[in-house]
Structure 1
């Protein structure tokens, strides 16, 4: 079972998420929080696999709560869910260590799929969010030493390009004719060599360093 914690200051929203996720045989909502501080405490207590995190909440906002959950290490993946379609929230969420970002007007099917994707250890951005991330890096990359890229093997470089395209481990395994365990090892090495916190940050770095270009 995928264990999910809901963090939102609106009870009606939490109830809606609980109903949607409760229809799935492989997902269990194991707790709720109505502010960021409660989310941090509940994460430590219940050890969920995925936290659905609102941004604007009292006491502690969702971005700070995400930072603390990620900084604790070994914790769940955080999926940011917000009604606010703002770039500052998007990039702050990625910087905080969130593994996914969805708007609350996404379909129930998208929410369920996002929970499953994050539970597998992959990252997810809604398509409209991905376009904005790519747009943000659609500028000339300044000349600078690419020592971090130089450390990647040719196979690791291929894996990074696939990550930037939004491929999951299973999809990378199929396209490169590798086992999923091998792919996980390559992904781990890519993150270590780039100094990336997670897959999402590795994707952002791939665009920043010019490994791939928007529209490529």
Structure 2
């Protein structure tokens, strides 16, 4: 039996995914999570063959979830699932250790194929993003502004309303290190306020507007 984890902060989306996955009698959804931290914990506990992870979740992005799973010897393949049809996001996902990237509008026709690919350790990407992976998206690259993945996570959590202390607890960092990441992000983005970080997070699709 192939074990699958679903992580998305919307119950309706998780329900829809379960319905599609249940078409395969030898697949079982062994765990669900509604934020990134819970997704990592569930992956460590249940050791699924495949984790289907939403790109935009509370507390931790899907890309950070993929990175955390990669850093554990779980042998779990990660599929990043998103509403955003973006080559840059796909590139970030693959760099973090995910092996599949699927736009939610393609789920009904491509989800089973994507999971099939992951179960034999082959990559899968929404077709419309393949060309962007090769040539890049200038607008999306501009939005990235050279932030490291950790800086992007810190900005996301700032935009979600977490304090430096709260961010430190979530990411298991010292408050001083969190402050350094936050300051570096503000310098790179040329902003001088929390509002500026929030505006960037919305533009870069780290959080939902």
TM above 0.5, yes or no, is yes
Per the normalisation by structure 1, the TM-score is 0.60
1:140 aligned residue: none
Does the 8 Å CA contact 2:70/2:97 hold for their aligned counterparts? Answer: yes
Once structures 1 and 2 are overlaid, which stretch shifts more, 29-38 or 66-75? 66-75
2:26 aligned residue: 26
C-alpha displacement at 1:85, in angstroms? 1.7
1:135 aligned residue: 135
CA distance in 1 between partners of 2:109 and 2:53 (Å): 18
1:101 aligned residue: 101
After superposition, give the CA deviation of every residue in 1:40-95 in whole Å (9 maximum; x if it has no partner): 00001111000001011111111111100011134300001100122332221111
CA distance in 2 between partners of 1:130 and 1:22 (Å): 28
CA distance in 1 between partners of 2:12 and 2:83 (Å): 14
SS at match of 1:85: coil
For this pair of structures, how many residues does the alignment match?
137
2:118 aligned residue: 118
SS at match of 1:132: helix
CA distance in 1 between partners of 2:75 and 2:68 (Å): 10
- Please list every run of at least 4 consecutive aligned residues from structure 1 whose deviation after the TM superposition is greater than 3 angstroms: none
2:83 aligned residue: 83
Gap regions ≥5 residues in structure 2: 138-209
C-alpha displacement at 1:107, in angstroms? 4.1
What is the root-mean-square deviation of aligned Cα atoms in Å? Answer: 1.5
CA distance in 2 between partners of 1:28 and 1:126 (Å): 24
After superposition, give the CA deviation of every residue in 1:101-152 in whole Å (9 maximum; x if it has no partner): 0100004231011111101111111211212112239xxxxxxxxxxxxxxx
SS at match of 2:80: strand
